[in-house]
Amino acid sequence: MVKLKSLLKKSIQNEVSLYLLFGLLTSLLYLVIRQGIFNFSQDAPFSAIVANIIAILFAFFTNDRFVFKQTKIGQLQRLQTFVIARLGTLGLDLILAVIFVDQFPSIIGQFVQRNLNKINTIESLVSQILIILLNYILSKFVIFKDKKRQL
């Protein structure tokens, strides 16, 4: 039991583990919001935009404070850089949503009886995997790279 607690504590302190944990929470938040809005609107790009705005804010504050352990100094500049980077990945998300949900739903639809909700869910999950990887690279090497600002 002591070894398990020690392993768990080390995992929580590990930057990658924390990034994945908060990335998972951000993705879950994103998916719940996107699906909820999509179920009412049937508008994939709109639901992706709203979900991204909320997820971007949640991700910044968790990454800044818990993952990369930054101080308050320079937080506004990091937020600006973070938002710009995330807008780039939002662009990727929108492109994928338009292509696979709006323009060519049969690409995924052939596997799920052309059910638009299932198509949107599958596209959302695949795009989130790509976006998590890209966001980590941008966060680690562009946004939170300044070691002098760490606690």
Residue 45 token pair = 């790009």
Give the domain range for residue 41: 15-149
Q: How far apart are the first and last CA of the chain?
A: 31
DSSP 8-class letter at 73:
T
CA angle 87, 89, 93 (to 5 degrees): 110
Q: Judge whether 131 lies within some domain.
A: yes
pLDDT tens, residue by residue, 95-106 = 999 999 999 999
Q: Judge whether 24 lies within some domain.
A: yes
Taking every pair of C-alpha atoms in the chain, what is the biggest distance, in angstroms? 54
Q: What is the domain count for the chain? A: 1
Residue 104: per-residue pLDDT: 97
pLDDT tens, residue by residue, 82-92 = 999 989 988 99
CA atoms within 13 A on the CB side of 86: 24
Q: Judge whether 5 lies within some domain.
A: no
pLDDT tens, residue by residue, 35-56 = 999 999 999 889 988 998 999 9
Give one DSSP letter per residue of 74-111, joined into a string: THHHHHHHHHHHHHHHHHHHHHHHIIIIII-THHHHTT
Output the pTM of the full model.
Answer: 0.69
Residue 3 — pLDDT band, cuts 50, 70, 90?
Answer: confident
Q: Judge whether 9 lies within some domain.
A: no
CA 97 vs CA 18, 55, 103: distances in Å: 28, 17, 9
Q: Judge whether 7 lies within some domain.
A: no
Residue 146: per-residue pLDDT: 65
Residue 15: per-residue pLDDT: 84
Question: Which is higher by pLDDT, 131 or 32?
Answer: 32
